[in-house]
Amino acid sequence: MRAAIYTRVSSAEQVKGHSLAGQRAILEAWADREGWEVVARYEDAGFSAKNVEGRPAFMRMLAEVATFDVLLVLKQDRFARDLADAFLAERTLQRAGARVLYHDEPGANDSDTPAGLIVKAVGYAGAQGYRMDLSRKIARGYAHMATVKGLHVGDVPFGYRRPDPKQPMEVDEHEAAGVVWAFETYASGNDSLAAIADELAARGYRPHSRGEARRDRTEWAISTVASMLKNRIYLGDILYRGEYFPGQHAPIITPALFSRVRLAAERRKRSPRTHARVVKNVYMVTGIGECARCLSPLWGDRSGSGYLSYRCSSRHSRRDCEDRRRGIRAERVEDRVERAIVVTAAQLEGLAGLIAEEIALVRPPVDADAQRERLEGIIRRASKLMLAGGDEGEALRAIRDANLQLAALDAAPRSEPAVEALSDFGALWPHFTAAERREAAQIVFQAVSVSIGSGDVFVLPRPEYAAAYNAAATAGGGSVSHLDGKVVMVRPGGLGRMDTAAAVVGSRWLRVS
């Protein structure tokens, strides 16, 4: 009888007793005992069993099924971890007159009987369940690394290196010089994205690609430079699932330089074109605006009478919200946001002392390393307590408080340049276009919450601007005031994002008058 051997390991299982050589030796010995001739060997090294299409050797085996009579596999989870894929693949083998046999699970080999079929189905279901559970655990681990520990998840961006995946990224001084040069060059308006890409290549820089093994085979492209110039990771933030969180790595550029680049990009979008261009309404809080009642994003709308307004998007998602059918004049919201920037910026010169005090409150202590280790220990213990069935509310509060203090170890040093950038916004605001004002609002605030019914507007500054806004609210006489948690009263539906977003160290929700 002609036999083929199929072996597979995923990268995470190389050290768990499922090595390719070990599987192959067991299966070849099995074939020798049975007197079968091994005519083919198929090997997928480092491929997940999530689906069959992603495994080249497996797909080749199915295409060559006519060349063997029996396929030998160590265990069912080596063959597939998806119930549907497993039975479809087995049916392909059966139609060609071949069958699959499992060395460690002989009960699954007799699929001609109801009992054998049940054993096989249970085995495949268990393999799929293991994969799904592993995926959830990995996703939770990545979320914890990014949102709680402030560690970058994924490929290391150009300008950084990461000797230890469990530690913050380190600045690569050579590449960081290229990052700063690219930002400053684009902000000056002298060179295009294509010219910057060519110059980076000429200077010997190579962009990071998916996997360090491909790093030397990549070249700079316009899209690569464009992505780099709008990546807030160079400000010290972490991007995870579309949201930014304070990171532990050191920033490479200042908020002022980042804002200059974004404004330069907006100006270039408005440059004359050879074809007709559709003029769209610009809504200042697009992307950061949310309904204060249900947390749904706000969307801009032009009424039949020509007025621009903001509406709660729950009417599209069919979420239950009392304000889903209401709207609020865009100018009313945007006037408050403008005051939150311009009036606060005008106050800064007289608030130097208060701002210094606010920054000092969150400066890292002398024993920052020991403090960080202690706080991470609290997070680990609280997580274990929650998984063990303990008081979930208490565990979440402990994790949140520790996360707040962890962010304080790194967020404060970025405050001084941000104060300078805010002053620039205040001076330049009268000269900004609508698009530039929207860009400035998105740079300064991580969220703008609007109570459509009452017309109240609340802003949550990004961490680097928190010291300036806290000082302005403390001084009084301006446009913003502390809420001290009262904002929760605006949201009968619960705390939601407004509460969790405000957990970023130093940032408080402010009411704009």
The pLDDT of residue 3 is 92
With a pLDDT cut of 70, the percent of the chain lying above it is 68
Whether 61 maps to a domain, the answer reads: yes
* Least confident residue range of 93-107, 367-381, 394-408, 433-447: 394-408
Task: For residue 16, give both structure tokens.
Answer: 């768990």
Q: Could you say which of 223, 253, 283 is where a domain stops?
A: 253
168/116: higher pLDDT:
168
CATH code (residue 44): 3.40.50.1390
User: What's the number of domains the chain is made of?
Assistant: 3
Residue scoring higher pLDDT (199 or 484):
199
CB 20, CB 45: distance < 8 Å? yes
pLDDT of residue 174: 92
Region 107-118: what's the mean pLDDT? 63
pLDDT at 251: 92
Q: Residue 268 is which amino acid? A: R
| Residues 300/330, Cβ–Cβ less than 8 Å | yes
pLDDT of 106: 76
105: left (phi over 0), alpha (psi -120 to 50) or beta: beta
Spatial contact of 284 and 334, defined as CB atoms under 8 Å apart: yes
Task: State which of 253, 275, 297 marks the end of a domain.
Answer: 253
Alpha carbons 125 and 149: distance in angstroms, whole number:
34
Please tell me what DSSP assigns to residue 440: H
Of 237, 253, 269, which residue constitutes the final position of a domain? 253
- 133 C-beta neighbours (distance < 10 Å), count: 10
Burial of 325 (0-12, 13-18, 19+ CB in 10 A): exposed
The neighbour count for residue 445, using CB atoms within 10 Å, is 24
| Whether 343 and 451 share a structural domain | yes
In a domain? residue 274 = no
**Whole-number pLDDT of residue 371:** 74
Q: Count CB neighbours of 148 within 10 A.
A: 19
pLDDT the model gives residue 244: 78
- Per DSSP, 430 falls in state G
491 pLDDT higher than 50: no
Residues 166 and 129 in one domain: no
More confident residue, 458 or 355: 458
Residue 299 — pLDDT band, cuts 50, 70, 90? confident
- Domain check: are 198 and 85 in the same one? no
Residue 29 counted as domain residue = yes
* Residue among 495, 488, 427 nearest 458 (CA): 488
Q: What is the pTM for the complete model shown?
A: 0.40
Asked if residue 466 belongs to a domain, the reply is: yes
Does 102 lie in the same domain as 164? no
Return the residue matching tokens 């074809």.
275
Looking at 45-49, 151-155, 227-231, 335-339, which range is the least confident one? 45-49
Asked whether 505 and 411 are in contact (CB, 8 A), the reply is yes
Residue 218, pLDDT score: 56
pLDDT band at 398 (very low <50, low <70, confident <90, very high): confident
| Residue 484 and residue 447 share a domain | yes
In a domain, 386, yes or no: no
Amino acid residing at 213: A
Please check whether residue 377 lies inside any domain of the structure. no
Would you state the pLDDT for residue 413?
46
If asked whether residues 198 and 347 sit together in one domain, one would say no
Q: Are 269 and 254 in contact (CB under 8 A)?
A: no
Ordered DSSP codes for 344-396: HHHHGGGGHHHHHHHHHHTSPPTTHHHHHHHHHHHHHHHHHHHHTT--HHHHH
More confident residue, 109 or 105: 105
Predicted confidence (pLDDT) at residue 331 exceeds the cutoff of 60: yes
- The answer on 499 and 435 residing in a single domain is yes
Residue 122 has a pLDDT of: 63
Give me the pLDDT at residue 48, please. 64
Range of the domain at 343: 327-359+416-512
Question: How many angstroms separate the CA atoms of 397 and 425, rounded?
Answer: 36
Residue 153 lies in a domain: no
Does 228 map to a domain? Answer: yes
Residue 86 has pLDDT above 80, yes or no: no
Model confidence at 176, pLDDT cuts 50, 70, 90, reads very high
Regarding whether 164 and 118 lie in a shared domain, the answer is no
Same domain, 195 and 247: yes
pLDDT value for 111: 62
Q: Are residues 101 and 185 in the same domain?
A: no
Whether residue 170 is found in the same domain as residue 62: no
When pLDDT is cut at 50, 70 and 90, the band that residue 112 belongs to is: low
Average pLDDT of the chain is 75
State the pLDDT at residue 21: 84
The tens digit of pLDDT for each residue in 345-383 reads 887 777 766 666 665 555 545 466 777 777 778 877 777
pLDDT tens digits, residue range 257-278? Answer: 999 998 888 887 765 554 444 4
Residues 243 and 168 grouped into a single domain: yes
The CATH number linked to 195 is 3.90.1750.20
Q: Please, are residues 398 and 239 in contact by the beta-carbon 8 Å criterion?
A: no
Q: Is the pLDDT of residue 488 over 70?
A: no
